[in-house]
A and B are shown apart, each in its own frame.
Chain A
Amino acid sequence: MGIFDGIISGFFIALTPMNLLFALLGALIGTAVGVLPGLGPAATIALLLPITYSIASPVAAVIMMAGIYYGAMYGGSTTSILLNLPGEAASVVTCIDGYKMAQKGQAGPALGIAAIGSFIAGSVAVVGLTLFAPPIAEFALSFGPPEKFALALLGLLMAVTLSGESVTKGLIIMVLGLLFGTVGIDPISGKSRFDFGVTELQSGFDFVTLAVGVFGLGEIFYNLEQQGNVEIVTTRVGQVFPRMADWAKSRMAILRGTLIGFFIGIIPGGGAVISSLLSYAVEKKVSKHPEEFGHGAIEGVAGPEAANNAASSSSFIPLLTLGIPGNAAIAMIFACLLIKGVKPGPFLIVEHPDVFWGVIASMYIGNIMLIILNLPLVGIWVQLLRVPYGILAPVVILFTAIGSYSIANQAFDLYALIAFGVLGYVLRKLKIEAGPLPLAFILGPMIEGSMRQSLLMSGGSFSIFVTRPISSTIVALFAIFIVGQAVLAIRRTGRCSKAQKAA
């Protein structure tokens, strides 16, 4: 099936009433999650994962989850601009100039340009996804166990090193994720690992329990310590459609943000947060008036918002074509596909063209739904902040508990959930990025399986990873990446030492 035929069939699938309903649900939940501070898209998708068991169609389930992910990027800008309160991590940068604009009485144009920039970037990125994904998937069909191993490890390491502040801590979390993935019966030898006599552990930890615990429950525990009384906005939103002058200032920022977001989103670990930060830095650098940044420059809103939306769409490329989730939210969508019996990767386009093209086509529709939901209805979304945390927190805990219990109907999962919740809380307290944990957990079995298969193929020699053309290229990229990171770390260390001596 060609790209054109594929996308046409995708639209037929995405435009069925049921799939349109799930796209709308995803867009609504995503916008709500983006508006509400505390629960990010990863946590929400994790919370809703058990519900996907009740959704018969895998296409509908993934359409909804994808809608939540890119919908959160739209919604995140609203509270950043109006309340200086980022609804999710990728909107942190929008606070800087967006809130300043709101203070100057320009909340409307700021919200408008954020929504329009998001729409343009999201739509362009989906076109990119449509064009780039099929050839990458076709290329990946030739991958054997050594290539899969090298690629998964490279993706994981890139995700770890790019997503957090400290590479060391990120690597520790990655290793922990791999270890959690080994709990249970080894599929090759049949030996039970790390069960310590507990029967329930022989089947291993469930991804949903881990993800819901670390991101959902951990987030709630953390927020209970930090949550203050959010003041309801009194800023007048006014006219949300930007003026011509605003548009003239923002159009290049939107274009640059779209390109930055698209390419950063493809890289594992890149994602929406890094792309919005990078876009802000680029806009400040290229601006003729960099002194306006931090005081209400509209380019400082348009660029990052375009970047985070483009990244959220393009981060589907490694998932749908290589089966490599690049960030925690995409790992949840990976799990959703597995729950529905669909294995993400190069065979997805051949074995499940309905899922592949249906989800891509739904993103075009989802972007249109989101601009309608976000521009005229912005006032309604802000009212969501009136829901007291004292009600929201226990309800989310109930959701996590029932969701985890419903997977295997055993109370053990509730205790595992609480343990993962505590782990998530501790990681937040220690300022350690938890993202690599679900990524490593979900990729762990694939890494272990392909490594053991590769060693079996080569008669126990690691040379198999450097003698095959594709795997050797990936290993070379791996080496370049490691050396690059080491050089950066040494430079940073040097700067730190100088700064400490100066202090």
Chain B
Amino acid sequence: MSKSDNVTNLVVIALGIFVVYHSYYSLRIGILISPGAGFLPFLCGLALVALGFVWRLQTILFKSPPQVENAGDPLAAVCEAEPARLPGSRVKLCLAFAATLAYACLFERIGFLAATLVFMLGWQVVVERQRWLKAIIITALCTAAMYTLFRYLLHVELPSNPLLS
């Protein structure tokens, strides 16, 4: 079991306790003949607490999974293969997450077209480190393709720029 398991199972237990408390006091679990709105969430909360403890127990009992049995088995080797993380990938991930969050914030505020242009250009220049010219071409083509697909082919209502409209 990894270090992250140590933290995650505590989070699961805490979440379970919160769900049990909220279901019991705020939602009300009702009686068996007429279960209330909190009945299923209450059971789910109890299950989370119990499963969190089982996971914790497993984390304590088995610190690292044994690899002995599968040695030399091509099937096990392929199934257990873990892709290597690229250098600088954590930064790339954070930038991608920030770009997606920014897109969500801008989507209704500045409209689909402007938000998509900003997002695509930002991604190509900041996340992918493309040259400006290539980034502009990719951005323009992708934005035009997405707009045509959603607006004209699928007839999706997309937010327009408040200043332009």
Contact = CB atoms under 8 A, between A and B. Distances in A.
A226 B86 contact: yes
Interface residues of A, number: 76
A224 B92 contact: yes
Interface string A168-202: 11011001101100100010110101100000000
A8 to B, nearest CB: 34
A339 interface: no
Contacts of B124: 390, 394
A16 interface: no
B131 to A, nearest CB: 12
Contacts of A189: 36-37
B109 to A, nearest CB: 9
B164 interface: no
A502 interface: yes
B127 interface: yes
B96 to A, nearest CB: 5
A305 B90 CA distance: 35
Nearest to B156: A406
A405 B108 CA distance: 10
Contacts of A418: 97, 100-101, 104
A227 interface: yes
A288 interface: no
A178 B156 contact: no
Contacts of A495: 66, 69
B100 A460 contact: no
A220 B34 CA distance: 44
Given A277-B79, A418-B104, A179 B146 contact: no
A191 B37 contact: yes
A411 to B, nearest CB: 5
A425 to B, nearest CB: 8
Contacts of B99: 394
27 contacts: A92-B79, A93-B75, A96-B78, A168-B54, A171-B47, A172-B51, A178-B44, A182-B41, A189-B36, A191-B37, A194-B22, A224-B96, A228-B84, A228-B86, A280-B75, A394-B99, A394-B123, A397-B100, A401-B100, A401-B104, A402-B158, A406-B150, A409-B157, A414-B104, A418-B104, A422-B97, A452-B35
Interface of B: 2, 4-5, 8, 12, 19, 22, 27-28, 31-41, 44, 47-48, 51-52, 54-55, 58, 61-62, 65-66, 68-69, 74-75, 78-79, 83-86, 89-90, 92-93, 96-97, 99-101, 103-104, 107-108, 112, 116, 119-120, 123-124, 127-128, 130, 138, 142, 146, 150, 154-158
Given A178-B40, A191-B27, A394-B99, 4 more contacts: A193-B27, A394-B120, A402-B112, A421-B100
